[in-house]
Chain A
Amino acid sequence: MALDLRPPPVRTAPPTAPRARTSRWRRDRFLLLLSLPGLLVIVLFHYVPMLGNVIAFKDYRPYLTIWEAPWVGLENFRVLFDGDPAFLNALTNTLVISLVQIVFVFPVPIALALLLNSLAGERVKRVVQSVLYLPHFMSWVVVVAIFQHMLGNAGLLNNFLRSHDLATVPLLGNPDLFLALITSQVIWKDAGWGTIIFLAALSRVDAQLYEASAIDGASKTRQLWHVTLPSIRGVIVLMLILKLGDVLTVGFEQIILQQKMVGTEVSEVLDTYVYSHGVVDGNWGVAAAVGLVKGLVGMVLVFGANKVAHLLGEKGLYSK
């Protein structure tokens, strides 16, 4: 039975649109009511703060309201374009930390996932997974505290060395080792958890491919190279692209917790710059300007990263 989709013959004078809307209103008003609390939160804590970005164009002082503060045009953006050394330092550190972490952190979960996947016993695998996922659920305060009490000057390791009359190793509070320190903290906290997405991809690899290649005489190493890695290539590329879209954001909580130990020269990143110049020093306008540009560039990077993902035939964060 085919439905007649043609408009019904005119019965009453006004067209049916307003009536359709009132009936939709009657039908859906309860749904709208349900969406209200969530929408209110989103508007209040996502869209209203976006309006607050106007202070990037103003000379804001805490005793003035946002509306009273005088307009200063692009004055606040001058740090960005005039090459203010503190800003450049923060930008350089951010990019260096991001790139180092892409090189050294990104491959670890892949390697771990391959290792776990090649494990025979299902039970052993599950136990190892439970252990390795655990640090992901710790706060950065806990992770930093644990690192300090294990590797710090008065920590477990150095206490042990001292009590055995060995030279202590100043691993923490050493600006030269800061990059290595935060990188190893990220690995400790999240490498295990990061395996999940790769393990899911590995579990979808067609077992027949392994059988066929084994019959053709492929060794385990060759199977890894010619079967396993090509099969999860898509996920690897996708994760890498998403990571690249995020280069301006590095572990803010992690770094702010440890900034005091090493000084800002090696540890100031864009987010900590915004915090220390804005909230701490009161340069609200400049900090907001830096934050705004960072947010916009970040948005462009996410768009770009997804574009690249789509071009490579992957799904990306959102689909086309």
Chain B
Amino acid sequence: MIVRSLKGVVLAACCAVVILPFLAVISTSLADQQQVTAAGGYVLWPSRPNLDAYRAILAGGVVTRALLVSVGITVVGTLLSLVCITLLAYSLSRPGSLLHRPILLTVLFTLLFAPGMIPMYLTIKQLGLLDSYWSLILPGLASGFQIIIMRAFFQEIPRELIDAARIDGAGELRVLLRIVLPLSRAVIAVVGLFNAVAYWNAFFNAMLYINDTEKWPLQLVLRTYVVDNSSLGVDAADLAGGFMPPAQSMQMAILVLSLVPIALVYPFLQKHFAKGILIGAVKG
């Protein structure tokens, strides 16, 4: 009995350690100046919740722009990566096809040796991609690990199904679009979600390749204003119509904004937690 309640206490404590910071972050983002001052900076529950902080940072300043940049990179990156990965995985799912082995080895070798930061930077520079959004999108498009995972999934599809379609006169494209892809929705969803989270959360690539602060994604803005505590600049105050929500509230509101997309996809991610494929997809 004691052991059981001890287990409960330990797990409850673990959950509290995860939840409490999020609660404080969200509550502070909603709190007003009076309460923030009274509490000395952070509140665990907003007494008079309001959206002033969100209004201020979404009024078209630095944060708004960064948010749009991040959304754009995430959407374009995720879609393009799904195209690259699915097509390459499908073409590799047919042992014995032309150049199958060399292409497979080309993909597999990327798992063993990652090019370092310096050669990567020089390549981006040489390709003229510095300060371009493409520098944040292109390098992450085709993870070898995800290609291998998806290829394994495609190979599980019964050969007879594909042969039957062939006999009925379906070409390669038709087989892919009508048979293989509809049967692989789960793995495509998982790979897509993981890439979306990865694109959304990436920060160092922008620090390396993007000098122009106007092109910064949200994570970099978050680092500057929330981790390094630089002040948000005048434009935020101007745009809030002359009055300034509490600094902490604005910082926490930026933090919350960066969490919204994750919160939106979390239920979908959760749906696939139990499945083995996830463990594979995670590693990449």
Contacts and interface: CB of A to CB of B under 8 A. Distances in A.
Contacts, number: 248
Interface residues of A, number: 92
B40 A45 contact: no
Contact of A162 (B22, B40, B142, B227): B40
A294 interface: yes
Given A163-B40, A196-B279, A200-B276, A145 B118 contact: no
Interface string A266-303: 00000100110011000010011001101110110011
Q: Please report whether the interface of chain A is mostly helix, strand, loop or mixed according to DSSP.
A: helix
Given A39-B88, A140-B203, A145-B255, A49 B18 contact: no
Nearest to B261: A137
Interface residues of B, number: 89
B10 A115 contact: yes
A252 B204 contact: yes
A149 interface: yes
Interface of A: 21, 24-25, 27-32, 34-35, 37-39, 41-53, 55, 66, 112, 115-116, 118-119, 128-135, 137-142, 144-146, 148-150, 154-156, 159-160, 162-163, 188, 192-193, 196-197, 200, 220, 252-253, 256-257, 260, 271, 274-275, 278-279, 284, 287-288, 291-292, 294-296, 298-299, 302-303, 317-318
Interface of B: 3, 7, 10-11, 14-15, 17-19, 21-22, 24-25, 39-42, 83-85, 87-88, 90-92, 94, 97-99, 103, 106-108, 110-123, 126-127, 138-139, 141-142, 144, 147, 171-173, 176, 197, 200-204, 207-208, 219-220, 222-223, 226-228, 248, 251-252, 255, 258-259, 262, 266, 269-270, 273, 276, 278-279, 282
20 contacts: A24-B97, A34-B176, A37-B84, A42-B107, A45-B123, A46-B114, A53-B119, A132-B15, A139-B202, A141-B219, A141-B227, A145-B227, A146-B22, A149-B42, A149-B255, A154-B41, A155-B41, A192-B14, A220-B3, A253-B203
